Structure 1
Amino acid sequence: MKQAPSLLIGVLCGVSANLIWGLAFLMPVLLPDADAVALALGRYLVFGLVSLGIVLFTRGAGMRGLGRRVWFTALAFAFAGHLGYYFFLVQGIRHTGAPITTAIIGTLPVTVALTGNWVRKEFPFSRLLIPLGFITVGLVLVNLVEVDWGTALGGHSGTTWVIGIASALTALGLWTWYAVSNASFLRRHPEISSSAWSTLMGVCTLALSLVALPIAAVSGGVHIEGTGSLLPLVIGSLVLGLLVSWVGTVLWNRSSGLVPISIAGQLVVIQVIAGLLYVFTWDGRMPPPLELAGIALLIGGVLLAIQRTRRTPPAAEARLTEKAEVSS
């Protein structure tokens, strides 16, 4: 009888996390003059510093006794889910442009759901086909409207295309692996709270950021023109680091520990929808009918997936989860 409340709490946490993550789509619109790499590094530095501050303030509460293997796992997740993911995302945008890269990254809800269910064997794949079909068609419709394909498909050499698409696919693979592995880790370690795990990843992200910062500065990857652009950059970094990264990661960790990963993966669609709606609201315009249809299909796919997967009896799901953990 505890399954339904846990699922509801997990879904609400997952939706909340993705609503917060959607702010990352709005920030470049609010700060059009801010350097993307500088904003990202600022975000992860704030995420790390906030996490370090929490560790010092709480004297490491919730993290005492964690072995090196747990710390190495947090470091790997900090790279795959945060800094490394963003690095390859930027490389994809730089070499093939934002439209193509966005279209590839937009398949995350499908790749996470399919990979998660393949690894954990939570539900029969037939139960996910129709919801994922809705989500796939919805993503296609949204991209048809949002992407200027005439511009996106021109002006790039063959080598540039290969590098850009490979980078985007690497970013896609990294975050898919992170989402599935993070959920499995939290299921195996219920003694580690969502906030403690988010803080631990934040500290590891800080270490990676401190390594990446001088490299980006020397390579010319960071461009800050004048002190006038510094204050917006600091404010944007604070919002992204504290709210989007730390709070969003806490909520996502909580969701990952309660919701089947095949469902949690589909909740990532909420991030795309929220980002679009935030931008539409800021611009004061309505999305065109075709895009509204795509958004409706995205929402419908997630709701249908939740409805279809709730049919699994708790005892049967427990057996599936136990079998998946034994095989792993």
Structure 2
Amino acid sequence: MFAGVLFALGAGLMWGLVFVAPVMLPGCPPALLTVGRYLAFGLIALPLALMDRRALRELQPADWWEAVKLSAIGNFLYYLTLSAAIQRAGAPLPTMIIGTLPVVIAVCANHRNRVRDGQLPWLKLLPSLALIGTGLALVNRDELAHMQASAGDLRRYAEGALLAVAALACWTWYPIRNADWLRAHSDRSPRAWATAQGLVTGPMALAGLLAVGAMQLAAPGTLMPAGYDFPLGERPLAFIGLMLAIGLCSSWLGTLCWNEASQRLPTSLSGQLIVFETLAALAYAFLWNQRMPPPATLAGIALLMAGVVWALRIKPVKHAG
């Protein structure tokens, strides 16, 4: 349990880096940040595959197909729907919807995996979920106020909400399905499974980059600002360096840590530990901007931490089926 929590913390620290990448490269279009990150992930996975070649050879075609589905839905479809939601409804509404992830995953996994993992008693779990939900609401209070103040096109707003729900569904499905494979293959290396996902992600990212380039030629200004120096922008060294950093840390190392946590923890518990990603993203953003969080955000962070500590004290109860 203790090792699993530490690995979940490591995954959150790594995944939180992704949220400051757009701040560090403010002129870079979201589509290029997405394909750049996963192309770097695929390239980094190539030398890592030499280290894990024996374990990778043990994977069956069904395992590789599972890796393809996890990458396609948990990486590309998630970011595609999320970026489209932000384009239509602005950032506040999708942020609020995606922020419910720890609660949604915990609720889904606690029912779905009750036979395999045991069930966390709902009455004992509710205070933890309530603390996490309240903490997320406080952390996103400024976002919520902005969302209520801005009206805009109702149809685009509704489309953005639906796309954000689709993104939430993708990232709810990914950790649960990924944990299913890891728990069913407890003898397999979590590191090799992270590398396998990188190997299948690379070709998809390359195809995405070619598609973005084709759209830029066919309809300039659709996906990126007019005059953008495709594909590396005005600061090519910064773009390449940042993509390699988050490709290694956020994609490969973050996935590795999450795989290790998923093999050790009930999915209903590990789902709540995704709050570490939110906390890390907040910390990095405030450090980058060199300012202290407002009191409401600090109160939300305290509630998030209290919810996690509460959840860790709950012991699963065996369920007959």
Global fold match (TM > 0.5): yes
Q: Which amino acid aligns with 1:153?
A: S
CA distance in 1, matches of 2:17, 2:39: 18
Is 1:203 aligned to residue 209 of structure 2?
no
CA shift at 1:67, angstroms?
A: 1.6
Which of 139, 143, 155 does residue 140 from structure 2 map onto? Answer: 143
Q: Which amino acid aligns with 1:69?
A: A
CA shift at 1:213, angstroms?
A: 1.7
Verify the 8 A CA contact 2:40 2:243 in the aligned structure 1.
yes
Q: Which residue matches 2:21?
A: 27
Q: Which residue matches 1:3?
A: none
- Higher deviation after alignment, 196-205 or 230-239: 230-239
For residues 217-255 of structure 1, what are the alpha-carbon distances to aligned partners after superposition, in whole Å with 9 as ceiling and x for unaligned? 222335683453222211111111111100000000000
Q: Which residue matches 2:128?
A: 131
Which of 46, 61, 81 does residue 54 from structure 2 map onto? Answer: 61
Verify the 8 A CA contact 1:22 1:274 in the aligned structure 2.
yes
CA shift at 1:144, angstroms?
A: 1.0
Cα–Cα, structure 1 residues 228 and 216, in superposed 2: closer, same or farther, change >3 Å?
closer
CA distance in 1, matches of 2:23, 2:272: 26
CA distance in 2, matches of 1:95, 1:209: 24
CA distance in 2, matches of 1:230, 1:222: 16
For residues 234-287 of structure 1, what are the alpha-carbon distances to aligned partners after superposition, in whole Å with 9 as ceiling and x for unaligned? 111111111110000000000011011111111111111111111112212111
CA shift at 1:142, angstroms?
A: 1.2
Q: CA RMSD in A?
A: 1.8
Verify the 8 A CA contact 2:52 2:192 in the aligned structure 1.
no
Cα–Cα, structure 1 residues 152 and 90, in superposed 2: closer, same or farther, change >3 Å?
farther
- DSSP 3-state at the match of 2:151: coil
For residues 29-62 of structure 1, what are the alpha-carbon distances to aligned partners after superposition, in whole Å with 9 as ceiling and x for unaligned? 222122221121111001011112222x237221
Q: Which residue matches 1:98?
A: 91
- DSSP 3-state at the match of 2:53: coil
CA distance in 2, matches of 1:30, 1:238: 14
Verify the 8 A CA contact 1:86 1:171 in the aligned structure 2.
yes
Q: Which residue matches 1:166?
A: 162
Gaps of 5+ in 1: 1-6
Which of 41, 45, 60 does residue 51 from structure 1 map onto? Answer: 45
Q: Which residue matches 2:219?
A: none
CA shift at 1:151, angstroms?
A: 7.2
Q: Which residue matches 2:77?
A: 84
CA distance in 1, matches of 2:52, 2:160: 43
Q: Which residue matches 1:225?
A: 228
Verify the 8 A CA contact 2:15 2:277 in the aligned structure 1.
yes
CA shift at 1:145, angstroms?
A: 2.7
Q: Which amino acid aligns with 1:233?
A: F
CA distance in 1, matches of 2:149, 2:73: 27
- Higher deviation after alignment, 91-100 or 144-153: 144-153
CA distance in 2, matches of 1:188, 1:51: 23
Q: Which residue matches 1:184?
A: 180
TM-score, normalization: structure 2? 0.90
Q: Which amino acid aligns with 1:58?
A: M
Verify the 8 A CA contact 2:81 2:167 in the aligned structure 1.
yes
Q: Which amino acid aligns with 2:92?
A: P
Verify the 8 A CA contact 2:273 2:308 in the aligned structure 1.
yes
Which of 151, 154, 158 does residue 154 from structure 1 map onto? Answer: 151
Verify the 8 A CA contact 1:183 1:253 in the aligned structure 2.
yes
- DSSP 3-state at the match of 1:34: coil
Q: Which residue matches 2:6?
A: 12
- DSSP 3-state at the match of 1:228: coil
Gaps of 5+ in 2: 217-222
Q: Which amino acid aligns with 1:125?
A: W
Equivalent positions of 1:245-260 (< 5 A) are 245-260=251-266
Is 1:40 aligned to residue 37 of structure 2?
no
Verify the 8 A CA contact 2:93 2:143 in the aligned structure 1.
no
CA distance in 1, matches of 2:52, 2:275: 37
CA shift at 1:200, angstroms?
A: 0.6
CA distance in 2, matches of 1:156, 1:10: 45
- DSSP 3-state at the match of 2:56: coil
CA distance in 2, matches of 1:213, 1:18: 27
CA shift at 1:294, angstroms?
A: 0.9
Q: Which residue matches 1:194?
A: 190
Cα–Cα, structure 1 residues 146 and 95, in superposed 2: closer, same or farther, change >3 Å?
closer
For residues 156-188 of structure 1, what are the alpha-carbon distances to aligned partners after superposition, in whole Å with 9 as ceiling and x for unaligned? 341x12321111111100110111111111000
CA distance in 2, matches of 1:163, 1:208: 26
CA shift at 1:146, angstroms?
A: 4.2
